[in-house]
């Protein structure tokens, strides 16, 4: 079995996000005996397919997912059994390949900037307290990797825009109007307009097109 120290070393040696993501999806899956493993950096969600964006927003919604709510509120690793009963979890997430889930926070400058998540299929044992302890240590190393500037595009965007502003930017990139964005985020159209004004000032742009282009260029 892979040693935890070897995982720490692999994270520290990753030269870019692609290398880190590849390392996580293989060795960490093996370490936690997970069916799947995923690393989600919030500033990158706007760059993926719209169907995947919708699924990610739903999965990471604190209103829908108590695991996500725990992460947002506490910035601490969690598995589903900590927050809901098994029958309730099956109603929230009926997929057999997500019968057990575990997730940990990636934090930069006190803000939640990403999540690393693991799943196990129906019939596999649930994640336990030792898994959470190990994941906590790994999340600290990944957060340190981000803070050391190995992911400059992530730091740049999260320092300039709040998570809510990144949500708005993502929807703008999809071509949604201010009214449509307001409806999706449960805020008024005027709130969207005011947010865009603040975002334009932060990014030193004067239009929606310039904002999307700048964020996309930084994320490359």
What is the model's pLDDT at position 151?
Answer: 47
pLDDT of 34 reads 95
DSSP 149: I
Distance (Å, rounded) from C-alpha 8 to C-alpha 123? 30
Quick check: do 4-150 and 161-219 share a fold? no
Q: Which residues of the chain have pLDDT under 50?
A: 45-49, 51-53, 150-155, 157-158, 220
As a whole number of Å, the end-to-end CA separation of the chain is 35
Residue boundaries of the structural domains of the chain: 4-150, 161-219
Predicted local distance difference test score (pLDDT) of residue 220: 46
The predicted structure's pLDDT at residue 155: 46
Architecture in CATH for domain 161-219: Orthogonal Bundle (1.10)
Q: Name the pTM for this structure.
A: 0.63
Q: How far, in Å, CA of 26 to CA of 80, rounded?
A: 22
Residue 216: the pLDDT is: 61
Q: To which H or E segment does residue 146 belong?
A: none
Q: Is the domain 4-150 a CATH 2.30.30.110 member?
A: no
């Amino acid at each position: 079995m892979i040693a935890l120290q070897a995982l720490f070393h692999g994270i520290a040696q990753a030269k870019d996000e692609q290398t880190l993501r590849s390392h996580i999806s293989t060795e960490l899956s093996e370490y936690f005996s997970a069916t799947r493993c995923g690393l989600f950096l919030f500033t990158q969600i706007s760059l993926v397919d719209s169907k995947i964006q919708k699924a990610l927003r739903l999965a990471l919604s604190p209103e829908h997912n108590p695991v996500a709510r725990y992460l947002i509120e506490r910035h601490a690793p969690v598995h589903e059994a900590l927050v809901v009963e098994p029958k309730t979890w099956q109603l929230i997430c009926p997929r057999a390949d997500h019968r057990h889930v575990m997730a940990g926070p990636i934090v930069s400058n006190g803000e939640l900037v990403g999540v690393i998540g693991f799943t196990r299929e129906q019939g596999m044992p649930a994640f336990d307290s030792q898994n959470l302890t190990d994941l906590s240590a790994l999340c600290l190393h990944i957060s340190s990797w981000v803070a050391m500037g190995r992911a400059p595009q992530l730091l740049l965007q999260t320092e300039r825009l709040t998570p809510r502003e990144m949500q708005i930017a993502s929807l703008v990139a999809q071509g949604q109007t201010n009214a449509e964005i307001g409806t999706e985020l449960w805020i008024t159209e005027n709130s969207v307009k005011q947010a865009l004004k603040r975002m334009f000032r932060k990014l030193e742009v004067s239009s929606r097109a310039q904002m999307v282009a700048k964020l996309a260029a930084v994320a490359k």
